[in-house]
Amino acid sequence: MQLNDKIIWITGASSGIGEGLAYVLAKKNCKLILSGRNVFELERVKANCNATTEILPFDLSDFDHAKEHVAKAIALFGKIDVLINNGGISQRSLIAETDFAVDKKLIEVDYLSLVALTKALLPHFIQKQSGHFVAVTSLMGKFGSPYRSGYCGAKHAVHGFYDVLRMEHQKDGIDVTLICPGFVQTNLAKKSLTGDGSLQMTDDQATKNGLPVPVFASRMIKAIEKRKFEAYIGRKEVLGVYLKRLFPRLLHYSVLRSKVR
């Protein structure tokens, strides 16, 4: 399935991966709906896309109004073909030093907001007997790494939810793709939550050495077009998925030795 000319809704579209996806999809003549919190940044991204790009600002943690956000998104072009649940926040703090409020925020933004939007959009996909849910999780949704307990928990939960969604609604022509990035050169690390909920503000070396956003975005779009169930996109860190599956104890000690923060 080519994404050309499709109507695609992207969350977290004001920066990083979401922004990069918007530019590649705009070149494919897609009609785009860009969501995020920062209207100024969304307008900036929109100005760099094609003429059929709209913005729909809202906070992902406002999931009590998910049905209203979905109704507005459908009204923009009359239907939606693909929802890319991309927006999210990360974490850099040890479990023993992390306030419970931080765990709650991570589960709300990185898991519950995706569930809320997906459930609100599902009746539309069932009614038209087609649609594609894409969730940007992480390799941290497949295995753990220190300093990211709440983030890993939320991203693992995303996998559980969407695996079930795929099983329950394949009969309705609905596809589900889970995208697991390794390290990608965005500001995610800088905006990561520390133990008291404040932002880390500094970059990680691993993120700086990650895939450039345009490279990542192109590979992600290919995975969506192939209707992959799951795609692991990164450099050598992707091996962690296979180590976890085959040699979990080896992965455990490799992650500890790598001292990735």
Query: Which of positions 156-185 make contact with ligand NAD (CB under 6 A)?
Result: 181, 183-184
170 vs 261, beta carbon nearer ligand NAD: 261
3 vs 17, beta carbon nearer ligand NAD: 17
87 vs 153, beta carbon nearer ligand NAD: 87
90 vs 200, beta carbon nearer ligand NAD: 90
- How many residues lie near ligand NAD (CB under 6 A)? 28
DSSP string of 1-46, one letter each residue:
---TT-EEEESSTTSHHHHHHHHHHHHTT-EEEE--S-HHHHHHHH
Query: Which of positions 28-47 make contact with ligand NAD (CB under 6 A)?
Result: 36-37
Active site amino acids: 151
Nearest residue to ligand NAD, using CB? 16
Q: What angle do CA 119, 121, 125 make, to 5 degrees?
A: 115
Q: How far is the CB of 127 from ligand NAD (least distance, A)?
A: 27
- Three-class DSSP category at 260: coil
Sheet holding 31-34, edge to edge: 53-55, 31-34, 7-10, 82-85, 131-136, 174-181, 230-233
Q: Applying CB under 6 A, which residues contact ligand NAD? A: 12, 14-18, 36-37, 59-61, 86-90, 109, 136, 138, 181, 183-184, 186-188, 191, 207, 210
